[in-house]
Amino acid sequence: MFYKPERISIYFARIFDEMVKIGIGSLPIVAIISLFIGAVTTVQTAYQLTSGLIAKSVIGTIVSDSSMLELAPTITCLVLAGKVGSHIASEIGTMRVSEQIDALDVMGINGAGYLAMPKIIAGIIMIPLLNIIAITLSIYGGYMAGEWSGIVSHDQFISGARSTFKGYTLFFSMIKSFTFAFIITSVSSFHGFYTKGGALEVGEASTKAVVYSAVLILFFDYLLAELLLK
């Protein structure tokens, strides 16, 4: 995978194409999920706050912190493991079983470098950007749910969200999304690239890519929390 590319300009074009596919293609699902996660977090936090001694602004704090720390990077990346991961594995897997990767090899083009590398680079650029959008929309979803249902006022939510904001939390969130992006794209490319057989095996590779990516995301979620939040 790390041989010098044949034509750098073609690889840049491929990276750009993949960025559009992964980033723009995933935007609607990421937006929907983030908005609803934020909204649900607001409603459920309010449900658990039975004591009148706790300020309503805590809801804003919890929604913003949990969006940054866990909900946006982890839930978004788990969903992307399904959407992007299965797409990558099935695309490369189909190319493998239909001899398209052999055709690249015969031409002297490094199949792994040509197919996997642009996807990995595009993923580690676009998924952290999607994470920022997810955080924003999750907090916005929480805010809107609080406003519409009258659970928490505009001022209470905003002051709560601002009161405990730390730049490090956002940095941690970005580190997580960067790591998860690498896991999703590399694991899925690997499973696609080493597919053997036919259509059935492409399906299996796709399923494996999603399952392995999801498990690795959860494992690294814990590992990063242990390493960076203690």
Partner 1 sequence: MIELKHINKSFDDKQVLFDLSATFHSGKNNIIIGASGGGKSVMMKCMVVLEKPDSGEILFDGRDIVSLEHQEMRDVRREIGMLFQGTALFDSLTVEQNVEFPLKMFSKMSPAERKERVNFCLARVNLDEVNGKFPSEISGGMKKRVGIARAIALDIKYLFCDEPNSGLDPITSRVIDELLNEITHEFQITNIINSHDMKTVFDIGDHIIFIYNGQKWWEGNKEELKTGQKEVKELDEFIKASYFE
User: For binding to partner 1 (CB under 8 A), which residues are involved?
Assistant: 3, 6-7, 10, 94-95, 98-100, 102-103, 105-109
Smallest gap from residue 94 Cβ to partner 1 (A): 8
- Please answer whether residues 132 and 74 qualify as being in contact, where contact means their C-beta atoms are separated by less than 8 angstroms: no
H or E segment at 220?
A: helix 199-228
| Angular region, 109: left φ>0, alpha ψ -120 to 50, beta rest | beta
Taking the least distance from each CB to partner 1, the nearer of 198 and 229 is: 198
Smallest gap from residue 129 Cβ to partner 1 (A): 24
State the Cα angle at 130 between 129 and 133, rounded to 5°.
Answer: 95
Taking the least distance from each CB to partner 1, the nearer of 103 and 227 is: 103
d(CA 215, CA 15): 26
DSSP states along 160-193: HHHHT--HHHHHHHHHHHHHHHHHHHHHHHHHHH
Taking the least distance from each CB to partner 1, the nearer of 10 and 229 is: 10
**If we measure between CA atoms, which residue out of 77, 60, 23, 70 comes closest to residue 172?**
70
Taking the least distance from each CB to partner 1, the nearer of 1 and 218 is: 1
d(CA 43, CA 108): 57
The number of beta carbons lying within 10 Å of the beta carbon of residue 26 is: 20
Smallest gap from residue 95 Cβ to partner 1 (A): 8
Smallest gap from residue 132 Cβ to partner 1 (A): 29
Smallest gap from residue 17 Cβ to partner 1 (A): 9
Smallest gap from residue 112 Cβ to partner 1 (A): 13
Taking the least distance from each CB to partner 1, the nearer of 108 and 150 is: 108
Residue 29: strand, helix, or coil: helix
Taking the least distance from each CB to partner 1, the nearer of 162 and 198 is: 198
- Please answer whether residues 178 and 76 qualify as being in contact, where contact means their C-beta atoms are separated by less than 8 angstroms: no
